[in-house]
Amino acid sequence: MKISFLVPTYNRPDFVKMQLDNILEITSKVGCDFEIVVGDNSTNEETKKIVESLANSNIVYFSNEGNVGYDRNIMNCFKYAEGDYIWLLGDKNHFYEKGLKEVLNYLADGPDALVFAEREDGLSKSFTDVSELLSDYGFRFSRLCNTILKKDCKKTLSLCEKYFDLHFQHIGIIFEYLCTLDSINVLWMPSNVCFYWKNNKIGWGSKVYTYFAQYWFKAIMMLPNRLTLDAKIKCLKGKNDKHHIFHPYAIIKHRCSRQIKYSIKDLKENREYLELTSHSTFNKNFWTLTLLPNWILYPVTYLPYLIYRKKKNSK
């Protein structure tokens, strides 16, 4: 069984080097048959030089004609993949040695797809209904590396061009494929095998509402009609319910730590999507509060919250 690890990238040669070193080291220890497909959207040849310096026949490198965008780069990576299973990693999602061993054990059963994330009960689960999969697991699909697909998914890539420029291309690829099957066999592995290599460069910057309200809504609602509307709605709202993207203190925390730059313009342009992707309603006073300058925001809101949490935890 051969696995294709997909590494789409854009102007991050250092991260590509760390990713390739990680994959090569762990696969050599585990004894996994593999290939690494590096899709380069970069405006320079630094990534190409790194791949050439490794001189490894298991690495398949291609460079797009200019920056074709995040989604098209992912699609091209899938087209180059030749493995029995395809694992879309990106350049910052690394996996553990123990995690790869677990993955190989699950893939030995021949599922159509393998999804993984921690479960409270610590038990694995098998899905035979695609709407149940979207409803139960859907919000986790926003993370790039949490799904491994059988190579047959390449047969439905032509159906996935409608998801271009929504930045959730991988979700379209997953469900367009699964919805063509008469019955599905998807395994949920109850542990998270990846860790996220962080840096200070956030791709969506000040477009929080554009990505996680507008694009998220459009991508999920464009999924095949075989998926029930109820499952789509649960998936849409589950993202915010679980990750609290639009929760007041989440916004304030990210702003105070300067991880995310929420913008008033982005909010105004996408406010109609907010209620569709969360259980929040638009409240002028609330949003005005979260968009105050940092020097006012921190002492007035977040600092009292930290004091409250400290007192609560000490009890």
Lowest mean pLDDT among 180-184, 225-229, 299-303: 299-303
| CATH numbers and ranges of domains, the chain | 2-196 (3.90.550.10), 208-314 (no CATH)
Residue with tokens 């497909």: 37
Closest CA to 9 of 43, 39, 44: 39
pLDDT in tens, 219-260: 999 999 999 999 999 999 887 777 667 766 667 666 666 666
Task: Give the helix, strand, coil percentages of the chain, each rounded to 5.
Answer: 50, 15, 35
Say if CB 214 and CB 239 are below 8 A apart: no
pLDDT in tens, 48-98: 999 999 999 999 999 998 899 999 999 999 999 999 999 999 998 999 999
Mean pLDDT of 181-189: 95
The rounded distance, in Å, linking the Cα atoms of 105 and 256 is: 43
Residue with tokens 């890539």: 157
The rounded distance, in Å, linking the Cα atoms of 34 and 42 is: 24
Whether this prediction's pTM lies above 0.85 is answered by yes
